[in-house]
């Protein structure tokens, strides 16, 4: 544990701005001097006490509730003091300053500062202390941040399940099975006279298959949780006046983008977060793709392509009213040729695994002959709502959303990557076990590596750099 982890810390634990209630939180090994200085008397453990909070001259800063959580029965595992005051920024800053001042005051008995190391907490440091003091594991700590950042009800409920330990329990079950299998292999290495017969009698192959089956289910739920957490970036692309802004407005259920018959109305991206079955969708409307007529539109088209290249899925809109009903007109020929050109550029710029959905817009205005010629994609009308639900379902299907909401726990990309590495190591182990003369030392190493990758999820094995990266993304006071 780094030296800074022993310092007592203090921070405002509520969001910036005005509110009915604001909280200042203190955590450390011995915070009695701060309690005495601010509250004027000792506090009963885990009982809310209404009293005045006083400054160094004894004047009242505010009146509110003070709660003392003695170690180890607290959020951080250390002594914790929570001061619940009125939620004005000035009041909370005065309380914060008073706590820091109390730590610097001299102890009459020793002539030294009461808490010389008391300092303002860094982002996520309270939760980091909880992790380091074994109050929660790393996956639970991350779930706390995910719960705070959840953008849909489904995401919030999934984060709550992970925070309560459901994801960690699934990982620990895998660890138990893996350690048991490792024990069998290591025993065979220690007693080579038993050789492969020992593993066969213990059904090592059956144990490994069951472990892989359990892992596959955990991976499925974690992958769905990662989609819930990260959301899906969907970019609407197409020629000018294809109906992109109308589609954004229809999906969002609000007039977010300006819609006019004038080509080039949208000059810059317009983004909106919506949800489909609890899955967050970051929908981006972009400028029409064509040869720019002026410098402003040129910048808009460049930004459109930049958004398209980072999309999880692209909705390529085709205007049905610009398809010729009978014969071929110059306008229809040019429009179809420009669509083909855009499709070619999309194929070059996008990764191969990025889905492109052909969306045929303005179906309410198209002739029956044109509609009959459409094959593939989704027919929609942003005006009447026709086809929008089918489009939503296809989006979810293409990005891999399959799980029922209540069966998903929140997970992150690093969790999914770790599980994929475990899967790869177990596949290597299965190949070794199936060999006529297994290389037991290689088998043991494959299982050991699998255990290390699995333990990274809960933080049993983790680097300080990883911890710093994770907790730096938390808000101050949490």
Residue 166 is predicted with a pLDDT of 92
- For residue 293, the model assigns a pLDDT of 67
Q: φ, ψ for residue 27 (rounded to 5)?
A: -140, 140
Tokens of 380: 């929609």
pLDDT at position 243 is 84
Q: 263: annotated binding-site residue?
A: yes
Question: Where would I find the beta strands (DSSP E) of 100-201?
Answer: 119-120
Residue 286 labeled ligand binder: yes
462 belongs to an annotated ligand binding site = no
49: annotated binding-site residue? no
Report the pLDDT value the prediction gives residue 26, as an integer from 0 to 100: 96
Is 264 annotated as a binding-site member?
A: yes
- What is the C-alpha separation between 147 and 166, in angstroms, rounded? 14
Domains of the chain: 3-136 (3.30.1360.120), 159-228+408-459 (1.20.120.430), 232-311+313-398 (3.40.50.300)
Which of 9, 3, 2, 4 lies closest to 28, judged by CA?
A: 9
Compute the distance between CA of residue 329 and CA of residue 140 in angstroms, rounded to an integer: 62
Burial 126-153 (b: 16+ CB within 10 A, else e): bbbbbbbbebbbbbbbbbbbbbeebbbe
**Residue 268, pLDDT score:** 54
Q: What are 276's two structure tokens?
A: 């489909």
287 is in an annotated binding site: yes
260 is in an annotated binding site: yes
**392-434 pLDDT, tens digit each:** 888 888 777 775 555 688 888 899 999 999 999 999 999 988 8
The answer to whether 25 is a known ligand-binding residue is: yes
Query: Is 201 labelled a binding residue?
Result: no
Predicted TM-score (pTM) of the model is 0.77
Was 285 annotated as part of a binding site?
Answer: yes
pLDDT (0 to 100) of residue 292? 67
pLDDT of residue 267: 45
- Is 173 annotated as belonging to a binding site? no
pLDDT at 255: 54
Question: Helices 166-190 and 204-230 meet at what angle, rounded to 10?
Answer: 150
Per the annotation, does 321 bind a ligand? no
Beta bridge partners of 22: 85
Q: Is 82 annotated as a binding residue?
A: yes
Is there a binding annotation on residue 225? no
**In the chain, which residues have pLDDT < 70?**
1-3, 109, 111, 190-198, 254-269, 292-293, 324-328, 403-407, 461-466
Is 265 labelled a binding residue?
yes
CB atoms within 10 A of CB 203: 12
Give CA 388 to chain center in angstroms.
Answer: 27
- N- to C-terminal Cα separation, the chain: 19
């Amino acid at each position: 544990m780094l030296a800074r982890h022993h310092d007592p810390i203090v921070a405002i634990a509520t969001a910036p701005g005005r509110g009915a209630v604001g909280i200042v939180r203190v955590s450390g090994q011995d915070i009695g001097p701060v309690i005495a200085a601010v509250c004027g008397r000792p506090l009963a453990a885990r009982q809310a006490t209404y009293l005045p909070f006083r400054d160094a001259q004894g004047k009242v800063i505010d009146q509110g509730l003070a709660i003392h959580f003695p170690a180890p029965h607290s959020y951080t595992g250390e002594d914790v003091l929570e001061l619940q005051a009125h939620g004005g920024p000035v009041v909370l800053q005065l309380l914060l300053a008073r706590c820091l001042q109390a730590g610097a005051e001299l102890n009459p008995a020793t002539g030294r500062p009461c808490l010389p190391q008391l300092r303002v907490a860094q982002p996520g440091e309270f939760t980091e202390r909880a992790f380091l003091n074994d109050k929660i594991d790393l996956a639970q700590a991350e779930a706390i941040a995910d719960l705070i950042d959840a953008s849909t009800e489904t995401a919030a409920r999934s984060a709550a399940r992970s925070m309560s330990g459901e994801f960690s329990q699934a990982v620990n079950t895998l660890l138990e099975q893996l350690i048991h299998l490792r024990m069998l292999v290591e025993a065979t290495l220690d007693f080579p006279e038993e050789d492969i017969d020992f593993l066969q009698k213990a059904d090592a192959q059956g144990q490994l298959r069951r472990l892989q089956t359990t892992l596959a289910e955990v991976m499925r739920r974690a992958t769905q949780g990662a989609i819930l957490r990260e959301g899906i970036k969907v970019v609407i692309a197409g020629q000018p006046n294809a109906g992109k802004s109308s589609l954004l407005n229809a999906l969002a259920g609000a007039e977010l983008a300006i819609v006019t018959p004038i080509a080039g109305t949208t000059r810059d991206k317009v983004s909106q977060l919506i949800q489909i079955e609890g899955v967050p969708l970051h929908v981006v409307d972009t400028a029409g793709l064509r040869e720019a007529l002026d410098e402003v539109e040129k910048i808009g088209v460049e930004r459109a392509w930049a958004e398209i290249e980072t999309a999880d899925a692209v909705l390529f809109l085709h205007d049905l009213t610009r398809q010729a009903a009978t014969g071929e007109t110059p306008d229809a020929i040019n429009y179809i040729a420009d669509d083909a050109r855009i499709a070619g550029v999309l194929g070059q710029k996008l990764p191969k695994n990025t889905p492109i959905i052909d969306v045929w817009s303005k179906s309410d205005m198209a002739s029956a002959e044109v509609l009959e010629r459409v094959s593939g994609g989704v027919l929609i009308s942003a005006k009447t709502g026709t086809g929008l639900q089918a489009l939503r379902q296809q989006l979810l299907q293409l990005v891999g959303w399959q799980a029922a909401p209540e069966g998903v726990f929140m997970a992150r990309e690093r969790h999914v990557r770790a599980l994929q590495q475990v899967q790869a190591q177990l596949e290597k182990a299965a190949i070794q076990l199936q060999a006529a003369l297994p290389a037991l030392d290689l088998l043991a190493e494959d299982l050991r590596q699998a255990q290390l990758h699995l333990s990274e999820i809960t933080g049993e094995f983790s680097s300080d750099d990883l911890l710093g990266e994770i907790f730096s993304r938390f808000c101050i006071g949490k």
